[in-house]
Amino acid sequence: MSDDLSQLADFLAPGVEPDDVPALWSLARAQPMIAAFVTLFRGGDEEVMVRLHILREIGHRAETPRWSPDELRRHFTYIDPVKLETVLKRLRENGLMVYGEDNLYQLTDTGRNAMAAVAVLLRFGEDEDAELGFLTTQLAGMQVTGTVTPEVLQHLLAKLNALSESFEEAVASGSEFRIVDARTRLSANERWLQKGTDLLRSLLTVDDVTPEIGRVAHAIGLAQSRLARVDAAFQRALNKIESQRVTLGASGVSSSDVMAWLRDREVSAILALAQGAFGAAPQTQFLAGGHELLDRAESALSAEVQRMEADTTLPPAQDVDQNLAPETEDLSLLWKLTDRLTDVADEAPAQRLVLGGGFAPASYRLSLLSLLGGVEAQAEGPVADFTQMPYELQLEAELVQVNQDEIAWMSAGRVVRREGA
């Protein structure tokens, strides 16, 4: 057993050797590559950044990959010479760079592989999920070379499940800002989700796919299907929030605008706004006197009161008018709105479908439109039949001026026919 493995055995339970743990042994075999990353990332943040920068600059020169010491000094004139020599010595002693017999520096295979791995991680945009993009590109490369492993697929599956859980938590929170942030995150990663779907389709068409890879690949397909449906859940949640949004008078400013403005303020600024906003209220105390306590005690101890409370007999039967018709729900507005939707070919302004009859009927129609494509479609009844119609409501952040039917302003939006309907 090597010295490194003997030191590793100190972390294991008595009687357990590193060879007894296959997953740990696979890491021990990759010790040179792990040592390269330890060399790059050990120390303070500024030391790590300088090492990565020097390694990337040396590796970027593809035409003449070898550097003389004078070329390195001239290229890195903006770095302290002593610090530069220290970094070069560290990279050389730990196998990331070599100083050849021709007195020239060049990256080793380990150093170039480490630089390539870091470059892949740094290429993703700020809005994208670096982990999802890295795992997808890694899977694409392994598929081309025919070296796809269940371990890589498991990492991708875990990432997709984590995304699904975070999006479901955003919808369950009911927070408009969390839902919008989650929707933006989903949109930024759509290309990686689509790329992963294409990779899985081509992977499952190969005849020699192992059962384990096939099982994980099918689980990834299910996770991607859930993510493909989550955008509709975002829209339904935003529609529900939109129906509950409050507009502050005729100013056009909504409660969401106020919340967004407050989120951009510092805590100290919010505290300054609250100064003097709350008035002092008198602290009242209600004390029972002797007469009140005596009256309460007499009623509690009275035998007549106790007998009345213990009496559980039913009241006498009463005659009911047999000609009284049962109450039924008035669904006339629902039927008329259904007729209006039937006449919509591709899309129609929400204002034209909602208005008519005053504020109450318009509010009722808007609430019905927000149910289009919702979970109510799984139930039965007139409302369920309405939600199953091939349309959806798309509301916008702007307001349109109405000034009729007791309505001054309403949210801009349109009702569109769903694709494939």
Kindly report the average pLDDT of the chain as a whole number: 78
Structurally, how many domains does the chain consist of?
3
Q: What is the pLDDT of residue 377?
A: 46
Contact 50, 79 (CB under 8 A): yes
The domain in which residue 163 lies consists of 130-243
Contact 105, 68 (CB under 8 A): yes
Question: Is the predicted pLDDT of residue 2 greater than 60, yes or no?
Answer: no
Question: Per residue in 212-249, pLDDT tens?
Answer: 877 888 888 888 888 878 888 888 888 887 777 777 66
Q: Which two tokens stand for residue 241?
A: 């929030």
Q: What is the reported pLDDT for 229?
A: 81
CATH of the domain at 80: 1.10.10.10
Residue 149 is assigned to a structural domain of this protein = yes
Instruction: With respect to residue 50, please indicate whether it lies within any of the assigned structural domains.
Output: yes
Q: Are residues 163 and 93 located together in one domain of the fold?
A: no
Cα–chain-centroid distance for residue 399? 28
Residues with Cβ within 8 Å of 100's Cβ and at least 6 positions away in sequence, in order, are 66, 106
Question: Per-residue pLDDT for 30 more than 60?
Answer: yes
- Residues 169 and 227 grouped into a single domain: yes
Same domain membership, residue 178 and residue 114: no
At 409 the pLDDT is 83
Q: What does the block give as tokens for 303?
A: 């035998």
| Domain match, 88 and 141 both | no
Instruction: Indicate whether 106 and 196 sit together in one domain.
Output: no
Distances (CA, A) of 99 to 88, 91, 96, 116: 10, 10, 10, 21
- Which tokens in the block code for residue 332? 């006339």
**By mean pLDDT, which of 142-151, 343-352, 379-388 is the weakest?**
379-388
State the sign of the Cα–Cα–Cα–Cα dihedral 309, 310, 311, 312.
positive
Whether 397 is covered by a domain: the verdict is yes
- Rounded Cα distance between 92 and 98, Å, is 5
pTM for this predicted structure? 0.46
164 and 98 in a common domain: no
Report the DSSP beta bridge partners of residue 200: none
Q: Is the pLDDT of residue 99 over 80?
A: yes
**Is there a domain that residue 301 lies in?**
no
* Inter-axis angle of helices 130-145 and 190-204, nearest 10: 30
Residue 259: inside a domain, yes or no?
no
In 3D, which of 67, 71, 47 has the Cα closest to residue 59?
67
Position 60 pLDDT exceeds 70: yes
225's CB contacts (< 8 A; 6+ apart) are none
If asked whether residues 16 and 116 sit together in one domain, one would say yes
Report pLDDT digits (tens) over 255-303.
777 777 877 788 888 788 777 776 666 666 655 566 667 777 777 777 7
> pLDDT tens-digit profile of 178-210?
888 888 888 877 887 888 888 777 777 766 677
Where is the domain boundary, 243, 277, 292? 243
- The last residue of one of the domains, among 193, 218, 243, is 243
Q: Where do we find the tokens 């407050």? A: 262
- Among candidate residues 196, 217, 243, the one where a domain is terminated: 243
Residue 356 region by backbone torsions, left for phi larger than 0, else alpha for psi between -120 and 50, else beta: left
